[in-house]
Amino acid sequence: MSTLKITNLSKTYPNGVKALDNVNLELSNGMFGLLGPNGAGKSTLMRTLASLQEADTGTATLDDIDIFKQPGELRKVLGYLPQEFGVYPRITAEQLLNHIAVLKGITNKGERKDLVAYLLNKVNLYDIKNKHVKGFSGGMKQRVGIAQALIGNPKLIIVDEPTAGLDPGERNRFHNLLADVGEEVIVILSTHIVDDVRELCTKMAIMNLGQIVFQDTPQNAIDSINGKVYQKIVTRTDLEDYARKYSIISNKMVGGQPLIHVFSDEHPENGFEQVNPNLEDVFFSKINTANVLV
Ligand code: ADP
Ligand code: MG
């Protein structure tokens, strides 16, 4: 069992954007979902944990490794799939994995060959191992990405928005693959897609404007707002009035009309019905929902 401990992590970019605002988290083995809207600071946090950029203040440790003081030690036990895993030279899947295995210090040629074959099988790309990665679909590229992240028996795997841009079938296959490795190591998955967290993660945090605004299990997250979410179909013209009166947490079109979810301690007036909250309600109730109407 490993522990990743993040303490008082803050980072302000030179342009003044505070991307990390006193982040504190403690994680152990299993899939951890970091859920947040675009710009929340997820990628900044992940690059910092991968020792690819520095924080202004704070510490992070993986068991007895101080990530910022011993980045070399960290990288030996890290698997990282960046949000932009986009550099695909004209090489095959097998050559790419072999190359990364060399970079990760696996010097024995036979050992490397076996490992690459094992990984290609694991991510279901063995049959096309001699095809150029450049021609792969988004899902196939992400599977190459996860295969390279698995090289070297990592204790910590960081995957940054791995399902963005995948079609539903590819997303499903990618989920199964992650769930497969997820129990034995610490996996941090960042996403703005609520279903990724719902389907995969045993623990989660919600990040917004550089801050961790919530941390618990997905089920406890839902329980925490139970009995406080109401819905109603309204007209477009009334939307602004409702927004002024209530705390609207989501607004979806259903059959051409807005269906709003509001967050309220008491039963709102006429026409609202209580609903069983879902993780999406949690997400929108924890982040600033002022822009829900635009
Ligand atoms: P997320 O991955 O959740 O979308 P990011 O960590 O990419 O969030 O970005 C957090 C905030 O920091 C955003 O406002 C973004 O514009 C800003 N940001 C990210 N990288 C840089 C950078 N290199 N220089 C300046 N601002 C940045
Ligand atoms: Mg990002």
Q: Where are the domains of the chain?
A: 3-217, 223-286
Instruction: Compare 173 and 222 and report the one with higher pLDDT.
Output: 222
Question: What element of type H or E holds 21?
Answer: strand 18-28
What is the C-alpha to C-alpha distance for residues 193 and 164, in angstroms, rounded to an integer? 8
Kindly tell me if the per-residue pLDDT of 169 is higher than 80: yes
pLDDT tier, 288 (very low <50, low <70, confident <90, very high otherwise): low
Instruction: Compare 171 and 14 and report the one with higher pLDDT.
Output: 14
pLDDT at 87: 66
For ligand 1, atom 12, name the residue with the nearest CA.
Answer: 19
pLDDT tier, 171 (very low <50, low <70, confident <90, very high otherwise): confident
Kindly tell me if the per-residue pLDDT of 292 is higher than 60: no
**What's the gap in Å between 42 CA and the centre of ligand 2?**
5
What is the C-alpha to C-alpha distance for residues 172 and 77, in angstroms, rounded to an integer? 27
**Substitution candidate for ligand 1 out of 13, 163, 288 with most atoms within 8 A of CB:** 13
pLDDT at 293: 46
Atom of ligand 1 nearest to the CA of 44: 6
Q: In Å, what is the CA distance from 225 to each residue of 9, 218, 293? A: 28, 12, 22
pLDDT per residue as tens digits for the range 67-122 = 999 999 999 899 999 988 766 678 999 999 999 999 888 999 999 999 999 999 98
Q: Which amino acid is at 17?
A: V
- In this prediction, residues 29-40 reach a mean pLDDT of 94
pLDDT tier, 184 (very low <50, low <70, confident <90, very high otherwise): confident
And the tokens for 77? 């036990």
What is 3-217's CATH number, 3.90.650.10, 3.60.20.10, 3.40.50.300, 3.40.50.150? 3.40.50.300
CB 258 near ligand 1, within 6 Å: no
For ligand 1, atom 7, name the residue with the nearest CA.
Answer: 43
pLDDT at 86: 67
CB 82 near ligand 1, within 6 Å: no
Kindly tell me if the per-residue pLDDT of 160 is higher than 80: yes
